[in-house]
Amino acid sequence: MPKLLVVEDEGELLEFLKMRLEANGYEVIGACDGKEGFEKAVKEKPDLILLDLMLPKVDGYWVCNLLKKDKRYDMIPIIILTAKSGAEHSKLAKECGADFYMTKPFEIEELLSKIASLIKK
């Protein structure tokens, strides 16, 4: 069963994602801030990370950048899932090493499809 890490500070959205992802056959680990997300990524080595950008403690750019610069974790696909829209945020996410950028609100089916395609690489 593929393991996903969801780093999201909005509790209701975290629970929604956990429920939908588990219903689609994924094991889901949650984190509520950037520091906890980074620590869980290092400890759990998930198959994919869903990462918000606007997080308490440290932001998603920092988490993504640190993981993608470390050879032990750089192959973990990271999907940025954020309310920040606009080309500048998408560009920054790509520069940090994100594999995909999706803005909120999002379609769950599109997200599930992208997760499946990134895990099968």
How far CA 91 is from CA of 2, 72, 104, 105, in Å, comes to 28, 24, 17, 19
Predicted local distance difference test score (pLDDT) of residue 120: 81
Share of the chain above pLDDT 90, in %: 95
Predicted local distance difference test score (pLDDT) of residue 121: 53
For residues 9 and 56, is the Cβ–Cβ distance under 8 A? Answer: yes
Kindly state the average pLDDT of the residues 36-58. Answer: 97
pTM score, whole prediction: 0.96
Predicted local distance difference test score (pLDDT) of residue 91: 93
Question: Could you give the residue ranges of the DSSP H alpha helices within 24-98?
Answer: 34-44, 60-68, 87-96
Q: Confidence class of residue 85 from pLDDT cuts 50, 70 and 90?
A: confident
pLDDT, averaged across the chain: 96
Kindly state the average pLDDT of the residues 51-65. Answer: 96
Share of the chain above pLDDT 70, in %: 99
Kindly state the average pLDDT of the residues 34-38. Answer: 98
Kindly state the average pLDDT of the residues 73-94. Answer: 93
Domain assignments of the chain as residue spans, ordered by start: 3-119
Predicted local distance difference test score (pLDDT) of residue 75: 97
- The third-level CATH classification (topology) of the domain covering 3-119 is Rossmann fold (3.40.50)
